[in-house]
Amino acid sequence: MKGKGVLGLAMAALFLCSPSQAEVVTLTSLDWCPYTCANSPAQGVTSAIVRAAFKAQGYDLKVQFLPWNRAVFNARNEPDVAGYFPEYPGSTPGFLLSPEIGFGPLGLVEAVDKPVVWKTIADLSSVRLGIVSGYLNTPELDQRISAKAQPIDMAMDDASNIRKVGVGRIDAAVIDANVFNYLLKNDPSLQIVKTKVRMNPRLLDAKSLHVAFTDSDYGRKMAAVFAEGLKKIDVKTMQSSLIHTAFTE
């Protein structure tokens, strides 16, 4: 969300200017626009939602943006970090998932001239599939990956996987459709493959997004505070409005 339009500046004023006496809650995240954006005023759609929920309870939010695996590691090991976000439902040992803070359409980026035809996850067994290190995918797909029933190619981020698909190094890659569209619009390194890739029309899943709070006294306290704050805001309306803004600014 690189633009600084009216809504972006309004969100910045509302969410980033806080009373000095408010307690600060620290969460880790990654640069995963349009959901979490290190270099935008409101820090992305999902960051704005999380900040609003904490604000409703009188807390300020501080987000530490890190590479994904490091974000999870710091949340697990730093006592002053209450958790990390956004996370999909799944196995998160040592963490407690919050109520839903939005959702993301998870699918496959494919080559325009070599579409992937599939109906079930098992149909992808002949597809060399790009995934991002440390990301959860779908339970069935992750189980097949663990069982080595799915050929995969590991990358550090989504942009790398898009480039690999575009130049034919892999057949397809798992990616959130909103992230895909945002990257194609904003990442200069993808312009060379922009016309060569697209989203497969069949989604893997519509994944709910959550904050993963540490399973500690502090984490459980902040999880309870956050859950109450979520009841005071309209998550679906906020996400819809902010996603629209992310693609129009």
Beta bridge partners of 20: none
Fold classification of 6-102+209-248 (topology level): D-Maltodextrin-Binding Protein; domain 2 (3.40.190)
Burial class (CB in 10 A: 0-12, 13-18, 19+), 81: buried
pLDDT tens figures, 9-46: 334 444 444 445 789 999 999 999 999 999 988 899 99
94: left (phi over 0), alpha (psi -120 to 50) or beta: left
Distance CA(224)–CA(217), nearest Å, equals 11
- Distance from C-alpha of 159 to C-alpha of 116, rounded to nearest angstrom: 19
The predicted pLDDT at position 150 comes to: 97
**CB 129 within 8 Å of CB 200:** no
Cα separation, 80 vs 116, in Å, equals 45
Could you tell me which of 123, 246, 224, 237 has the C-alpha nearest to residue 178? Answer: 246
Asked if 229 and 57 count as a contact pair (C-beta separation under 8 A), the reply is: yes
Over residues 50-85, the pLDDT tens digits come to 999 999 999 999 999 999 999 999 999 999 999 999
Counting as low any pLDDT under 70, the low residues of the chain are 1-20
The distance of Cα 237 from the centroid of its chain, to the nearest Å, equals: 18
Closest CA to 40 of 31, 50, 49: 31
The CATH fold of domain 104-206: D-Maltodextrin-Binding Protein; domain 2 (3.40.190)
Query: Structure pTM?
Result: 0.88
Q: Which residues contact 81 (CB under 8 A, 6 or more apart)?
A: 26, 27, 28, 64, 74, 75, 214
CA–CA distance, 199 with 221 (Å, rounded to integer): 40
Q: DSSP state, 239?
A: H
Going from N- to C-terminal start, the domains of the chain cover 6-102+209-248, 104-206
Fold match between 6-102+209-248 and 104-206? yes
Radius of gyration, CA atoms only, the chain:
18
What local confidence, expressed as pLDDT, does residue 22 receive? 81
Report d(CA 44, CA 34) in Å as an integer. Answer: 5
